[in-house]
Chains A and B, each alone.
Chain A
Amino acid sequence: SQTIHQWPATLVQPVGSPLSLECTVEGTSNPNLYWYRQAAGRGLQLLFYSVGIGQISSEVPQNLSASRPQDRQFILSSKKLLLSDSGFYLCAWSGVSRNQPQHFGDGTRLSIL
């Protein structure tokens, strides 16, 4: 069966520090991969998605970047964190054919001090 791992679960970082959040998927090949951010009590905002290795699309301009160095690895990064980068970050995967659900990791709670 397929599983998705996301870490760390919580992270406290100072303003201006770098960021690297990692997400890996097991049990499937060539998944679509997604990074979302969720503000407290709100819905999800799509940040990046990827349909293949090295293929990254950004949905909103921001201080973050994403990379997909391997088929089942998706990394969210920042060179210098801002206070506004605080939030709950979720990684998800889906199959490539149409009408597929997305499957989510347990998220990373990021607090910027």
Chain B
Amino acid sequence: SQQGEEDPQALSIQEGENATMNCSYKTSINNLQWYRQNSGRGLVHLILIRSNEREKHSGRLRVTLDTSKKSSSLLITASRAADTASYFCATAYNNAGNMLTFGGGTRLMVKP
């Protein structure tokens, strides 16, 4: 079963608007990661946030983590048409192999 579940499943916004995607998970984690996938391509790592961190920034990306609610959010500010992609959260639990459990993803469309 999937550990993380993204919400919404699909999001359509205009260029320049902000996009917020949410992720919920079920068990304790070491870290939570966000990935981006363009259609038909591999995943690209965006941000890793550790279980003892609450917020992290990278350029136009802002990730928050609330371990008490077992949830995370990804905010993309001032979106661009090139941000159109699927975004996945993935949780890492305590394991030797750095294994991740992925959610079903949010499909983001940014209209020019």
Contacts and interface: CB of A to CB of B under 8 A. Distances in A.
Given A104-B44, A106-B41, A99 B92 contact: yes
Nearest to B89: A43
Interface of chain A, main secondary structure: strand
Nearest to A105: B42
Contacts of B25: none
A107 B40 contact: yes
Interface string B78-110: 000000000010101000111111111101000
Contacts, number: 64
A1 interface: no
Which of A43, A92, A100, A107 has its CB near the most chain B CB atoms (within 10 A)?
A43
Given A32-B98, A96-B98, A109-B40, A101 B50 contact: no
B88 to A, nearest CB: 6
A28 to B, nearest CB: 13
A49 B40 CA distance: 22
Contact of B30 (A32, A98, A106): A98
A22 B75 CA distance: 36
